[in-house]
Amino acid sequence: MTILLVEDSADDVFFMKRALKFAGTSASIQVAEDGQVAIDYLSGEGAFSNRAEFPLPTLILLDLRMPRVPGFEVLKWLRKKEAFSCLPVVILSSSREESDIRKAYSLGANSFLVKTGDSNLLVAMVKTLVEYWLKYNETPASCIETPA
Amino acid sequence: MDQRSSVDDRVIVVAPSGHDAGNTAQVLRSDGIAVQICPDLEAACVEARTGAGAFLITQESLNTRSLKHLLILLEEQPPWSDIPLILLASGYEPGAPGFASIKALGNSSAVTVLDRPLRVVTLLSAVKTSLHARRRQYQVRDLLQQRESILADLRDRAATLESSQLELMLAKEEIARHASELEQTVTERTAKLRETIAQLEAFSYSISHDMRGPLRAMQQYSQILLEDYEKRMPAEAADYLGRIFRGAHRLDRLIQDVLTYSRAARVAIPIAPVDVDKLVRDIIQQYPAFQPPKAQVQIVLPLPRVLGNEASLTQCISNLIDNAVKFSRPGETPKVRVYPGDSNGRIQICIEDNGIGIAPENQERIFNIFERVHHDREYEGTGIGLSIVKKTIERMGGDVGVESSIGRGSKFWIKLQCANGEL
């Protein structure tokens, strides 16, 4: 299992990796440092075509404010692509602005989490997150409907 | 009027041959008729212009020249006037001298021909009939004058009305111009205000996204350092790290509170019936700090439903209970009672504590943003919580207030419209 973390802040990447380690997940973490990299990763552009090294994720953790391509654009792109239309996306944002939350859900986000400054709380949050999305939640093997 | 009527009623006697005039005048005067004697018709015509009831003319005074004067006088009469002429003839018959002239006169005016010799009674009767007819003419004249003055008055009024209408029209135009100017000003100001609000929103959006990132980093790195390396560092270093963590944490809370406040001030708050009893129970259940052994928060009487916004009201009541629990005497378990009241048809929700109380001089200013009574080391806080409560409750159409005295606890209340049981 692979988690794709789309996050431009090196600090937040560090905290998230640390929290995931503490949460005790076996999933591997891939990082895309902005929205464009995430789209390249998912499309298998260039080096990302090596799926042994860069496997398609089972869960995307998506930041909103990023240079080049922001989180909402990634979300729009994902939901338009049939192959990724039902890939679980959890938004990780600094903001709890009502407008952001509403927009995220209307664009097809599956969950919205606000980043915390408390490392203990972050660990607890990530533990729950991993448990829910990687252990209990069911997703289709393929989003593409194949004729019976 | 007397003067006028005597002139109007006089008989102008034209008799060139002396005697006749004197006799006639005497006869008329003896019967109370005013008389003016003129030596010839020309003089009589001049006299008549100041007023005359009738002419008494002898045939002898008529000649081509004098007749012309008379005709001009008759011609120039106003429409109401047809001055009676009494002609004393001598042998009035076709062929007699002056007959043609008299006949011509008779065609265009009221001529009575009396043939001499004549009896006094005939003369008087003819003069009186003529004067009577003349008075009728005066009545017509008076009516015409009256009509004229009424018409003039009406014209005056019409003119006044017209000018008032003009003024009214100008005033209306003026008002319309002002209204359109005002509308334009309002439109411009609204656009400016919208722009300002948009900028403010962009500003707070940026704060909530960008400023909190570095703070989170400070908080978490100091926290991680403490967790991972505390045993390997001097106590002093650990203390400094603790201070960095608390400073960052406090600034983050400050930013969050400012954002909440600015949101409370600008974002629309939809109003609907809210079950306050359930809302307060949920709040107590959600926060361990509001539960024993840390505190006793009790709903004393069932709380009614109010008109408000559930999320905003949750924030307000949480803030008030949080304050009630926080401002307790050291070592004493905070006891908070929540109960309803009624205030002029509105619902009052009271949150009463057994804490340290608030001095009267501070009771108003604690609702202002950034106002604090205590040092942070005594009671932690940002000084924004109550201003959020005040702003939010006011935006829900309610009121908030406090009753307190030092050492005897505080009672904060909010007043909102009753939801009339619909939910």
Summarised one tens digit per residue, pLDDT across range A46-100 is 889 999 899 999 999 999 988 889 999 999 999 999 889 889 999 999 877 888 8
Q: Look up the CATH number of the domain holding residue B67.
A: 3.40.50.2300
Name the residue among B400, B417, B420, B292 with its Cα closest to residue B351: B400
Q: Quick check: A133 pLDDT over 90?
A: yes
Q: Which domain holds residue B86?
A: 2-118
Q: What is the pLDDT of residue B343?
A: 77
State how far the Cα of B399 lies from the Cα of B105, in Å rounded to an integer: 104
**B98 or B66, greater pLDDT:** B66
- Cβ of A94 within 8 Å of Cβ of B208? The answer is yes
**B176 or B384, greater pLDDT:** B176
Q: Quick check: B76 pLDDT over 70?
A: yes
Residue of A nearest to B201 (CA): A97
Residues 246-275 of B with CB under 8 A from A: 248-249, 252, 263, 267
Say whether residue A95 is in contact with chain B using an 8 A CB cutoff: yes
Give exposure, B163-183, as e/b (b: 16+ Cβ within 10 Å).
eeeeeeeeeeeeeeeeeeeee
Contact B404, B351 (CB under 8 A): no
Q: What is the pLDDT of residue B422?
A: 45
The two structure tokens encoding residue A141? 């093997």
- Cβ of B216 within 8 Å of Cβ of A116? The answer is yes
In a domain, B92, yes or no: yes
CATH number at A7-136: 3.40.50.2300
B97: confidence class by pLDDT, cuts 50, 70, 90:
low
Which chain B residues are Cβ-neighbours of A117 within 8 angstroms? 212, 215-216, 218-220, 248-249, 252
Q: What is the pLDDT of residue B423?
A: 42
Mean predicted confidence (pLDDT) in B41-60: 89
In a domain, B154, yes or no: no
Residue of A nearest to B262 (CA): A97
**B187 or B260, greater pLDDT:** B187
Say whether residue B215 is in contact with chain A using an 8 A CB cutoff: yes
Mean predicted confidence (pLDDT) in B211-231: 89
Gyration radius from chain B CA atoms: 56
- Of the candidate ranges A13-17, B27-31, B130-134, B418-422, the one whose mean pLDDT is the lowest: B418-422
Give the gap in angstroms from C-alpha A117 to the nearest C-alpha of chain B: 4
Q: Quick check: B16 pLDDT over 80?
A: no
Nearest to A97 among B208, B217, B227 (CB): B208
DSSP secondary structure of B63-110? -HHHHHHHHHHHHTS-TT----EEEEEES-STTSTTHHHHHHHHHHS-
- Report helix angle A10-23 to B212-229, nearest 10: 40
| Predicted model pTM | 0.57
Mean predicted confidence (pLDDT) in B71-88: 89
Residue of B nearest to A65 (CA): B209
State how far the Cα of A29 lies from the Cα of A120, in Å rounded to an integer: 20
- Cβ of B249 within 8 Å of Cβ of A117? The answer is yes
Which chain B residues are Cβ-neighbours of A22 within 8 angstroms? none
Q: What is the pLDDT of residue B136?
A: 94
Summarised one tens digit per residue, pLDDT across range B143-163 is 999 999 999 999 999 999 999
Mutate which: B206, B207, B220, B250, vs A, most A CBs within 10 A: B220
Which chain A residues are Cβ-neighbours of B210 within 8 angstroms? 65, 94
In a domain, B368, yes or no: yes
Which chain A residues are Cβ-neighbours of B225 within 8 angstroms? none
Residue finishing a domain among B61, B93, B118: B118
Say whether residue A118 is in contact with chain B using an 8 A CB cutoff: yes
- Cβ of B213 within 8 Å of Cβ of A95? The answer is no
Indicate the length of chain B as a whole number. Answer: 423
- Cβ of A9 within 8 Å of Cβ of B212? The answer is no
Adjacency order of strands within the sheet including B399-404:
B296-299, B335-343, B346-353, B410-417, B399-404
In a domain, B173, yes or no: no
- Cβ of B220 within 8 Å of Cβ of A97? The answer is no
Nearest to B220 among A95, A97, A119 (CB): A119
In a domain, B403, yes or no: yes
Residue A31, SS3 per DSSP: strand
Q: Look up the CATH number of the domain holding residue B372.
A: 3.30.565.10
Give the gap in angstroms from C-alpha B418 to the nearest C-alpha of chain A: 28
Residue of B nearest to A94 (CA): B209
Q: Quick check: B289 pLDDT over 60?
A: yes
Q: Quick check: B14 pLDDT over 60?
A: yes
State how far the Cα of A6 lies from the Cα of A71, in Å rounded to an integer: 8
Q: What is the pLDDT of residue B260?
A: 83
Summarised one tens digit per residue, pLDDT across range B323-345 is 999 998 888 899 999 999 877 77
Task: Establish whether the linkage from the previous residue to B117 is cis, with ω within 30° of 0.
Answer: yes
Residue finishing a domain among B61, B84, B118: B118
CA B183 → CA B169, B193, B196, distances in Å? 21, 15, 20
Our measurement of the distance from residue B89's CA atom to the centroid of its chain's CA atoms, rounded to an integer in Å, reads 82
In a domain, B391, yes or no: yes
Give the gap in angstroms from C-alpha A65 to the nearest C-alpha of chain B: 7
Q: What is the pLDDT of residue B64?
A: 78
Per the structure, the count of domains in chain B is: 2
The neighbouring-strand residues paired with B336 are B297, B353
Please state, as a whole number, how many other Cβ atoms lie within 10 Å of the Cβ of residue A104. 22
Q: Quick check: A104 pLDDT over 90?
A: yes
Q: What is the pLDDT of residue B2?
A: 47
Mean predicted confidence (pLDDT) in B310-335: 91
- Of the candidate ranges A79-88, B304-313, B349-358, B377-386, the one whose mean pLDDT is the lowest: B377-386
Residue of B nearest to A12 (CA): B217
In a domain, B158, yes or no: no
Summarised one tens digit per residue, pLDDT across range B361-409 is 888 888 888 778 887 777 878 888 899 999 999 999 899 999 998 888 9
In a domain, B276, yes or no: yes
Which chain A residues are Cβ-neighbours of B253 within 8 angstroms? none
Q: Quick check: B198 pLDDT over 90?
A: no
- Cβ of A119 within 8 Å of Cβ of B224? The answer is yes
Indicate the length of chain A as a whole number. Answer: 148
- Beta-strand relationship, B305-308 and B272-275: antiparallel
What is the residue-averaged pLDDT of chain B? 87
Residue finishing a domain among B70, B94, B118: B118
